[in-house]
Structure 1
């Protein structure tokens, strides 16, 4: 009789433990935080600073995250009724962090493409830079170019695993330099004459040339520029498109008007760091 009681108790305990185990995993929907990954090194979309501002978010003991992406993340977190947490993550580590449940979303100036869609589900775009341009040295001949094919034979560099790098091969005969890990590294390479030009979106380029008066922007004539998608979207867990959480994030994003988005970008461009 005692043995039967012992077995029954063991089964109850096992069932209880199993039940508890199945409830320990919390989803993005269940948590009271909204954890967003970004580089914090891609102004005006995102950057790291020691200065607290009206738009910044604390980065643990490493100062603050600020920029356009932070503003977007704050608005979405507020709509979700969650506390926003920014996790600084290297560009190549963003998708793996999402897959590993280290973050709930990527809001980092990321463009949806076929490769990234294999590891994430994307919302509709939250910003469109409307075309790829180039940044060159102001005193170089490249400053007068109006066609990407004029960069034939030139040394051009982009950022690793981004459109900034992949579009370079649209230039026939270009010397496609090994991509850099971060955008500030690209700027430095241009200033040190390691390369003749770096790819950019206008929002990024404006801040770069404002902070570096030795550089200038090259825009291309219609039909003579890059063929490239310059929209950016929010990345959420792969396979979550039909979930309540995905739909809530999309709804929160939809509530931000086009006018608000432009105003936030203008603010970010005006307040981004003046030095890399």
Structure 2
């Protein structure tokens, strides 16, 4: 399992950074829920969501962003098929997608897309929603709607354990660091510019790609969220995680920027349905689920 993931993880990092593809109508429960959703939607003057009426919830994610989501060759631990592929997806996002689909009485289809294709896929109706570790930023809210948070992720920094920034106690101690992060994220757009005299490299197209840049010595530091950092330490034991939470010199981000939500097409009645499921979960539930995802991710054994 470890060898297999190392190969998958490395391949994802070089280029790309809830189950299974099922067809037909859902169960009687799904049909009932779908009809109810359709009636509610019609009453509000909004368009019905065809996939949900068919009993299938299409959820997009990268399938390459552990521990939120990753690709593996089997259904081990409850992984589910990726649409149009012989591979399977698993991770925190898949766990959440499975829970939501079950609660709504729907079948689940996982659609694998690269990071920058996620929002357009929701806007075009190619998928019903995105569950992919997306921060609820003001920029994204201009394009899509978001549910209430399904995870709260603090910001951390990864450096080499034997590097010059290994003992950094705050953002100022990263002065002059060569750094990077994933494109179109709060980590890259908001956090990196806060580092004094930072030498900011071009954004990486995926989270795995930014980790490979650090591993290869192309940068001194990458900024990401806690779950991604914890997962990275398993794949890269020579990394060190710097958490400035509680320090006077931490990255300044809004609460919204560290809240992770499910993105949905603007005006969609699905937002309310998803929120009704999330209301039944607590932050403790989120953390327990994330801990489980980290514990079963490839290379965790």
Counting only pairs closer than 5 Å after superposition, residues 252-263 of structure 1 correspond to structure 2 as 252-263=277-288
Q: Aligned to 2:234, which of 194, 203, 210?
A: 210
Tell me the distance in 2 between the aligned counterparts of 1:218 and 1:63.
34
Counting only pairs closer than 5 Å after superposition, residues 182-261 of structure 1 correspond to structure 2 as 182-220=206-244, 222-228=247-253, 229-240=257-268, 243=269, 245-261=270-286
Tell me the distance in 1 between the aligned counterparts of 2:299 and 2:223.
19
Structure 2 alignment gaps of length 5 or more: 1-47
Query: Is contact 1:55-1:70 (8 Å) kept?
Result: no
Tell me the distance in 2 between the aligned counterparts of 1:200 and 1:62.
30
Cα distance change on mapping 1:28 and 1:114 into 2, 3 Å? farther
Is 1:163 the counterpart of 2:186? The answer is: yes
Is 1:271 the counterpart of 2:296? The answer is: yes
Structure 1 moving runs of 4+ over 4 Å: none
When Rg is computed on C-alpha atoms for both structures, the one with the higher figure is 1
Aligned residues: 248
Tell me the distance in 2 between the aligned counterparts of 1:59 and 1:29.
18
Structure 1 alignment gaps of length 5 or more: 1-24
Is 1:66 the counterpart of 2:94? The answer is: no
Secondary structure at the aligned position of 1:42 is classed as coil
Per-residue deviation at 1:267?
Answer: 0.5
Q: Give the TM-score of the pair, scaled to structure 2.
A: 0.79
Tell me the distance in 2 between the aligned counterparts of 1:222 and 1:36.
37
Counting only pairs closer than 5 Å after superposition, residues 133-148 of structure 1 correspond to structure 2 as 133-148=156-171
Q: Give the TM-score of the pair, scaled to structure 1.
A: 0.85
